[in-house]
Amino acid sequence: MTTLNRRIREHIEQRILSGAWPPGHRIPFEHELMAEFGCARMTVNKAIAALVDAGLIVRRRRGGSFVAEPRVHAPVLAVPDIRAEVEARGQRYGLRLLSRKCRKALDHSPIEGQLARDGHLLVLECLHLADDRPFALEERLIGLAAAPAAVDVDFSQIPPGTWLLDAVPWTEAEHRIAAINADAHVSGLLDVPPHTACLAIERRTWKEDMDVTHVRQIFPGSNYDLVARFTPKS
């Protein structure tokens, strides 16, 4: 016999998978589902939690529950262009430049010193959007010794990563990948509840022997996958 929470889950799941409820559609509030199915809040909550775990629904702080956007699957070793990834899945890309400053490297930061090479750094924070919703938070350092033209680029119009891929092609890259919980700053900008599981990717790139950039990109865990495909060594 099908349990009631399973019936509720299948009811919502069918509307999502059929396209009747597209990405971003708000599903009925818990009290509405309770009235429709004549059940307790715990039953509804269990059904919705299962859909969240399956990646079909996301909960937004103060907003309710919504049909999740399609997940991006990124090769682990690639240097991705976020704008291209968003557009490839049929969504409208947007960019919000949160801060920009040019400064010397901090004395206590070896990475900044290597990027600056006794010169200056461009320090950027920006928010990538997909259909006007937060997609990823980016904190980036650009070494002006390797990319001097960056100082004149309007990064409110072109994503830093997109520009760098075209203007300063990298020859070596290093990735560091971690699971983190969103702090107050990150959760506010990504519009997710505090402590939401997120994927943090830190990347350094070089052109020959010069450091080009160091970037930290944070994605809500429900939006992003890292995929590796490989064969055993002979």
Instruction: Based on the fold, state whether residues 137 and 170 are members of the same structural domain.
Output: yes
Of residues 90 and 206, more confidently modeled: 206
* Residue 199 belongs to a domain: yes
Is 190 part of a structural domain of the chain?
yes
How many independent structural domains does the chain possess? 2
Condensed to tens digits (0 to 9), the pLDDT of residues 25-71 reads 889 998 999 999 999 989 998 888 888 877 788 887 667 888 887 66
Residue 234 within a domain: no
Same domain, 47 and 123: no
125-164 pLDDT, tens digit each = 999 999 999 999 999 999 999 999 999 999 999 999 999 9
- The CATH number linked to 36 is 1.10.10.10
CA angle 53–96–54, rounded 5-degree value: 5
Report how far apart, in Å, the C-alpha atoms of 209 and of each of 76, 132, 148 are.
23, 39, 16
Q: Which of 127, 114, 128 minimizes the C-alpha distance to 214?
A: 114
Q: Where are the alpha helices (DSSP H) in the chain?
A: 4-17, 30-37, 41-53, 82-88, 110-116, 160-167, 184-190
Residue that is written with structure tokens 């409820």 in the block: 21
According to DSSP, the residues that pair with 218 across neighbouring strands are 137, 200
Model confidence at 234: pLDDT above 50: no
Domain that holds residue 115: 72-227
Percent share of the chain, pLDDT over 70: 89
Residue 73, pLDDT above cutoff 60? no
Q: Are residues 173 and 78 in contact, defined by beta-carbon separation less than 8 angstroms?
A: no
pLDDT at position 86: 86
pLDDT tens figures, 178-202: 899 999 999 999 998 889 999 999 9
Q: Are residues 58 and 91 in the same domain?
A: no
For the domain that residue 129 is a member of, what is the CATH number?
Answer: 3.40.1410.10
Same domain as 101, residue 10:
no
Distance in angstroms (rounded) separating the CA atoms of residues 117 and 231? 40
Residue 165 lies in a domain: yes
Q: Beta-carbon neighbour count of residue 144 at 10 Å?
A: 17
pLDDT tens digits, 89-132: 788 999 999 999 999 999 889 889 999 998 999 999 999 999 99
Residue 232 lies inside a defined structural domain of this protein:
no
- Of the candidates 67, 82, 112, which is a domain's last residue? 67
Among the candidates 45, 67, 89, a domain finishes at 67
